[in-house]
Chains A and B, each alone.
Chain A
Amino acid sequence: MDVFWFFDWLDTSLLADISKAYGGVFAVVQMFHLLGLALMGGSVLLSDLRFLGVVMTDVPSKVVFDNTQKLFTLALVVLVLSGIFMASAVALKLYYNEAFWAKMAGLGLGILFVYLIRKPLFTRFDHDSISPAAVKVAALCSLTIWFTVAASGRWIGFS
């Protein structure tokens, strides 16, 4: 499946007209992307480190998970929307950028993992009934995915 047409279209879209012409608008959108990153990073770290027994051990993991999951979804929406705008400025360049595709692959895996496995598992079942090994493996998996997404995202600019 070749998705070149999408990047070709994005490159000449109205969005690209704005993102390419106004550096100030781009910088503001990028600020939202970075703030979204902080919010997502905070919610991922907090919930996963709680599952690993590192932080907030005196607060039930269910409470930590429910609260951070809401923030996570909010952050994801902000990140994807601001990300599409940022991508429109360099759409054709991104199509040939390896770090970008690594990030997209990681993002896809991350969304699948969170909404297909992690969220159902920790929302529907009592956390004490879930095998402690599965809880820790899920936390490590989530940390690995989102670290890779963030780091390869930063690397897009350098490669």
Chain B
Amino acid sequence: MSRQTLERMTYAFATGVFLLATWYWVRQWNSMMELLEAAYG
């Protein structure tokens, strides 16, 4: 694979990873907050 192809793959892969990670951590945070609310009101 050429350098340009690998660079483009890096951008594409990283964009996917950043979106997934944001979704995952926001979701984790929300579920933690829900549990906290259920525990302490």
Contact = CB atoms under 8 A, between A and B. Distances in A.
Direct touch of chains A and B (CB < 8 A)? yes
A22 to B, nearest CB: 33
27 contacts: A112-B13, A113-B13, A116-B9, A117-B6, A117-B9, A117-B13, A120-B6, A121-B6, A121-B10, A125-B3, A130-B3, A131-B7, A134-B7, A137-B10, A137-B11, A137-B14, A138-B10, A141-B10, A141-B13, A141-B14, A141-B17, A144-B17, A144-B18, A145-B17, A148-B21, A148-B25, A155-B28
Contacts of B3: 121, 124-125, 129-130
A141 B21 CA distance: 10
Interface of A: 102, 109, 112-113, 116-118, 120-121, 124-125, 129-131, 134, 137-138, 140-141, 144-145, 148, 155
Contact of B24 (A102, A129, A134, A137): A102
B11 A134 contact: yes
A148 to B, nearest CB: 6
B39 interface: no
10 closest A-B pairs by CB: A141-B14, A134-B7, A121-B6, A137-B14, A138-B10, A125-B3, A144-B21, A117-B9, A134-B10, A141-B17
